[in-house]
Amino acid sequence: MVTMEHYLIVSSIMFFVGVYGFITRKNLLAVLISIELILNSVEINFCVFNRFLYPEHMEGMFFSLFGIAISAAETAVAIAIIINVYRIANNIDVRHIDKMKY
Amino acid sequence: MGELANAIIFYCLAAAIVGMSILAVTSRRMLRAATYLLIVLICTAGLYLLLNYHFLAVVQLSVYAGGILILFIFAILLTSSHGDRAYSHDKGRVIAGIITALAGIAITTWITMKHHFLYGENPALMGDRQIDMKEIGQVLIGTGKYEYLLSFEALSILLLTCAIGAILIARKR
């Protein structure tokens, strides 16, 4: 029998793998992929809580629906910024993009 | 029988999600990382199907796996250089990341196992109660309690603004 805790553990593993990638990766696109993992795990959590604890409501499902749409918008803008950074700095490695840092 | 099948499918999906998400953040080549992310997203859609959120699974497949992944792959191909492959990862940072991730997983798993969620026999889990499309459409464009017309419209304006902003940022001057 698959209980609620199984889903929660899977999504928390996914979340912290995303956090690990966010800390260690140097490529801007890899950082964005880690953010997608984090967002995705949160959306699983919304659905699981909705389905197991309040099966007669639909709020969790709609929250993850809006979350998916917002993450699409966020990805579009982030990729536009990354392409612009690549055009200016010829690189998308976070260690080489320090023009505005000092 | 149905429960056993559900459990088998769930464990396959969970194993695929865990393995592929670890590969997605550790793979050196960006295109492979994007492919692993695609598999993670498809398996997430499978979890939604397992929870009987059919509409959400379709949205996940079409928006995430169909839209966002295409954007990612375009961006990777446009900006591909030897940058990500040439350098090895920073040792101290990797250790810090592993410690953070393991500590986080341990704490959340401990809390999850310790807490008793109160739910009884849930008929919705076995597919007895599916949300039909008509209900979803009514809720999305209704104005009453627990209905989401305002956020729906705000989201459409947000998407429009993001499309215009992305074009404005990325165009050649």
Q: What is the pLDDT of residues B32-72, one digit of tens each?
A: 999 999 999 999 999 999 888 889 999 999 998 888 999 89
Topology of the domain covering A4-89: Helix Hairpins (1.10.287)
Instruction: Give the pLDDT confidence score for residue B62 in this predicted structure.
Output: 93
- Do the Cβ atoms of A80 and B169 come within 8 Å? yes
The CA distance from A30 to A74, in Å, is 15
Residue ranges for chain A with pLDDT beneath 70: none
ipTM of the complex: 0.92
Handedness of CA B162, B168, A86, B72 (dihedral sign): positive
Which of B 1-30 lie inside 8 A of A, CB atoms? 3, 6-7, 10, 14, 17-18, 21-22, 24-26, 30
Q: State the virtual CA torsion across B122, B124, B125, B131 in degrees, nearest 10.
A: -160
- What mean pLDDT value characterizes chain B? 86
Burial of B64 (0-12, 13-18, 19+ CB in 10 A): buried
Instruction: State the pTM of this model.
Output: 0.90
State percent of chain A over pLDDT 90.
52
Give the 3-state secondary structure of residue A31.
Answer: helix
- Quickly list DSSP for B83-149: HHHHSPPPHHHHHHHHHHHHHHHHHHHHHHHHS-------GGGGTSSPPPHHHHHHHHT--STT--H
Inter-chain contact B79–A86, Cβ cutoff 8 Å?
yes
CATH architecture of B1-84+119-130: Up-down Bundle (1.20)
B17 versus B132: the higher-pLDDT residue is B17
Burial B93-127 (b: 16+ CB within 10 A, else e): eeeebeebbeebbeebbeebeeeeeeeeeeebbee
CB contact (8 A) between residue B7 and residue A76: no
Q: Which of residues 83 through 112 in chain B touch A, CB cutoff 8 A? A: 83-84, 87, 89-90, 93-94, 96-98, 100-102, 104-105, 108-109, 112
Q: How confident is the model at residue B172 (pLDDT cuts 50, 70, 90)?
A: confident
Distance (Å) from the alpha carbon of B49 to chain A's nearest alpha carbon = 11
Residue spans of the domains in chain B: they are: 1-84+119-130, 132-173
User: Would you say A44 and A14 are in contact if contact means Cβ atoms under 8 Å apart?
Assistant: yes
The tokens describing B121, both together, are: 């026999």
Residue B4 with chain A: CB contacts under 8 Å = none
How many Cα atoms are found within 13 Å in the side-chain-facing hemisphere of A102?
A: 4
How many CB atoms within 10 Å of residue A45?
Answer: 19
Q: Do B97 and A20 touch (CB under 8 A)?
A: yes
Q: For chain A, what is the radius of gyration of the CA atoms?
A: 17
Q: What is the pLDDT of residue A52?
A: 86
Q: Which region holds residue B117: left if phi is over 0, alpha if psi is between -120 and 50, else beta?
A: beta
The average confidence (pLDDT) of chain A is 89
Give the pLDDT of residue B85.
58
Stated length of chain B: 173
pLDDT, residue B125, reads 62
Round to whole Å and give the CA distance between B49 and B56. Answer: 8
* B81-108 tens-digit pLDDT: 665 555 566 788 889 999 999 999 999 9
